[in-house]
Amino acid sequence: MPELPPAAPYDALLLLSFGGPEGPDDVVPFLENVTKGRGIPRERLEEVGQHYFLYGGVSPINAQNRELLAALRKDFADTGLDLPVYWGNRNWAPYLTDTLREMAQDGRKRILTLVTSAYASYSGCRQYRENLADAIETLRAEGIEPPRVDKLRHYFNHPGFVEPMVEGVLTALQELPESVRDGARIAFTTHSIPTSAADTSGPVEGHGDGGAYVAQHLDVARIIAGRVREATGVDRPWELVYQSRSGAPHIPWLEPDICDHLEDVHGAGAPAVVMAPIGFVSDHMEVVYDLDTEAKAKAEELGLPVVRSATVGADPRFVAGLRELVLERAEAERGVPGAERCALGALGPSHDLCPAGCCPARTPKPAAAGTD
Ligand SMILES: CC1=C(CCC(=O)O)c2cc3nc(cc4[nH]c(cc5[nH]c(cc1n2)c(C)c5CCC(=O)O)c(CCC(=O)O)c4C)C(CCC(=O)O)=C3C
Ligand SMILES: [Fe+2]
């Protein structure tokens, strides 16, 4: 019997991301795509539009995804993994539907999807699955047979994601003046989401009080804080805080906000803070505006030394970790017994297939690559 290629049954990988504007004329249509039917107040949209205009209307996210795409292709080539990698987005070109059509036309029959969100939540998981279902439906309506689509498990606790962030925090600490280094607190940050979305994130049995979204972030924060303690011999206080809140003010979102947190800890005598954006995989607009611009301005106003640690971006350890996850899933689909499922922390490896009812939408919609 001929030997199966290591990624079998998969014949392609799809990098699926958020997308961002690439010039001033793209900003408003991009924001309209993002917020279609999501009830974001007009004022918030105008404010967010200004963040993009400050950077010439260009979000850094597309360049970062091109870099990740190139790094994945190079890593696959270097390790002899013959698996083509495609890229598509939810909100901007290259649009997911166009990419999936191209994949079908290239003869891809069974694909694995890697989303640029490491954690469970409606925005970071099910909404992408809904986008996949939409794209599949569009292809069928065009008379094109879409590939069968799976989605890679959440990788928040995979060493390939966590280890570069540990190093990032250690590097950030070195950037602080020595006199405040040992006393520095670590503020792990992630995207705020409505508390109702957090409470229902992840599998149904884990629903309630922050759900999988908060539990997964706390697990990652605990791992990183522990590794940093071991490496520096200093036990620094840390907490999980939030950023980039949108939505109507009367709807509760996860708190505290990073800026309020900086004020609080400064008031309580903290000498310095490391902001560690564990909720994001690259330095996109949420990171460069909400942290590097807004939160740093707040810190400056307070006279509080603040540094920001790196996101994983296209770090070779992250890229290698993603390859391991692809191979792990391929083995699982081939029914190879005893395949290792690498995970750090207390939660263990995440499920391959989203169970019914996880990360529900406010209004139920068809979703691909899961149980419901
Ligand atoms: C959990 C989460 C992630 C992390 C996981 C992941 O990475 O997927 C994430 C990522 C991102 N969010 C992004 C941009 C935006 N998100 C918005 C709005 C919202 N995000 C939400 C959640 C998340 N968002 C939510 C609950 C809303 C409210 C509206 C809704 O329920 O959908 C809006 C509308 C304006 C505003 O209200 O801010 C914009 C412009 C960009 C691109 C950045 C760039 O261009 O560099 C990225 C990577
Ligand atoms: Fe967002």
**Buried b / exposed e along 70-105 (16+ C-beta atoms within 10 A):** ebbbebbeeeebebebbbbbbbbebbbbebbbebbe
Which residue has its alpha carbon closest to ligand 1 atom 39? 34
Which residue has its alpha carbon closest to ligand 1 atom 18? 246
- Retrieve residue 123's tokens: 């925005």
What tens digit of pLDDT does each residue of 270-315 get? Answer: 999 999 999 999 999 999 999 999 999 999 999 999 999 999 999 9
Averaged pLDDT score across all residues of the chain = 96
* Residue 350 belongs to a domain: no
Residues 176 and 136 in one domain: no
Residues 225 and 330 in one domain: no
C-beta of 61 in contact with ligand 1 (< 6 A): yes
Residues 109 and 222 in one domain: no
* Residue 53 belongs to a domain: yes
Task: Give residue 167 CA to ligand 2 midpoint distance, Å.
Answer: 26
Which residue has its alpha carbon closest to ligand 1 atom 6? 117
What tens digit of pLDDT does each residue of 188-213 get? Answer: 999 999 999 999 999 999 998 999 99
Q: What pLDDT score does 339 carry?
A: 80
* Residue 261 belongs to a domain: yes
Residues 303 and 318 in one domain: no
The C-alpha atoms of residue 17 and residue 149 are separated, in whole angstroms, by: 16
Residue 148: which CATH number? 3.40.50.1400
| Closest ligand (CA of 91) | 1
Residues 43 and 178 in one domain: no
The C-alpha atoms of residue 60 and residue 207 are separated, in whole angstroms, by: 34
Residues 145 and 19 in one domain: yes
What tens digit of pLDDT does each residue of 51-105 get? Answer: 999 999 999 999 999 999 999 999 999 999 999 999 999 999 999 999 999 999 9
Q: Which atom of ligand 1 is nearest to the CA of 286?
A: 43
The H or E element containing residue 187 is strand 185-191
* Ligand 1 pocket test, candidate residues 244, 287, 291, most atoms within 8 A of CB: 244
Task: Give residue 193 CA to ligand 1 midpoint distance, Å.
Answer: 9
